[in-house]
Amino acid sequence: MSNVTVITIDGPSGTGKGTICCHLAYLMKWNFLDSGALYRVLAIAAKKNQIGNEDELELIELTNNLDVEFKMRNPESMADVLFNGKIVTDEIRTEVCGKAASVIAPIAGVRKALLTRQRAFCKEPGLIADGRDMGTVVFPNAELKIFLTASIDERAKRRFKQLKEGGISVNLRRLHREIEERDERDSGRKLSPLKPADDAIIVDTTDINVEDVIGKISKLVIDKIPNLSKRVVDYLR
């Protein structure tokens, strides 16, 4: 594996991973990988091409040709996701797409093909990788591994607020159930289940706001990553 410095931030949905990774990657001017977005784009592409989850070979072919890019906008916003050069950020953020991604994710051939695609994001000056198995499987040699957690109640409330602000009305109890089901599927699968790496630092975000989580993680980055440029350290302080 390469010598490029990697920071992994794993955890279930609603822990603030995406916001935090985008913020850090933008300020540090490092590359960013939202691995969940790859599974989400794949789920959409499979549906458009009428490829079912049982068609493993076709799914592998689709994965090998998946053209996905991330474009950072500003430190406060999530990165835009481009699929074949077209922005699909809103399309892939729906609950339906999240569930489809979680259902396609346990397929062995898909995970194997995505491994190569994900590692291709590892380029100088460094990579911040967001997902479920970044620290355990995709980048086991990462310099800093963080695992974010938060109670399901809190995560459901955050997601509810986010959807409401985006003009989408949802039922909080249903959302809670869907998050619980997705957690069970992601943690219970045989291949690369959602779990912290043995050497991950666990940060519980239930009672901490996003600014404080960013502060906490910035401090970990400064403490644990050697040879950061002065520019990066100044930004993170």
Binding site residues, ligand DC, CB under 6 A? 13, 35-37, 39-40, 98, 101-102, 105, 131-133, 182, 186
Query: Minimum Å distance from CB 49 to ligand DC?
Result: 19
3-state secondary structure (DSSP) of residue 164: helix
Query: Minimum Å distance from CB 58 to ligand DC?
Result: 19
Show the DSSP H helices in the chain as ranges: 17-28, 35-48, 56-64, 89-92, 95-104, 108-119, 152-165, 172-188, 210-224, 230-236
- Residue among 5, 12, 10 nearest 185 (CA): 12
Query: Minimum Å distance from CB 35 to ligand DC?
Result: 4
User: What is the CA angle 179-183-188, rounded to 5?
Assistant: 155
Query: Minimum Å distance from CB 228 to ligand DC?
Result: 25
Between 56 and 235, CB nearer to ligand DC = 56
Between 98 and 126, CB nearer to ligand DC = 98
Query: Minimum Å distance from CB 37 to ligand DC?
Result: 6
Between 147 and 236, CB nearer to ligand DC = 147
Cα dist from 226 to 76, 102, 233, 234, whole Å = 26, 35, 11, 15
- Structure tokens of 51? 């490829």
Local structure of residue 3 (DSSP, 8 states): -
Between 192 and 232, CB nearer to ligand DC = 192
Contact 63, 51 (CB under 8 A): no
Between 126 and 131, CB nearer to ligand DC = 131
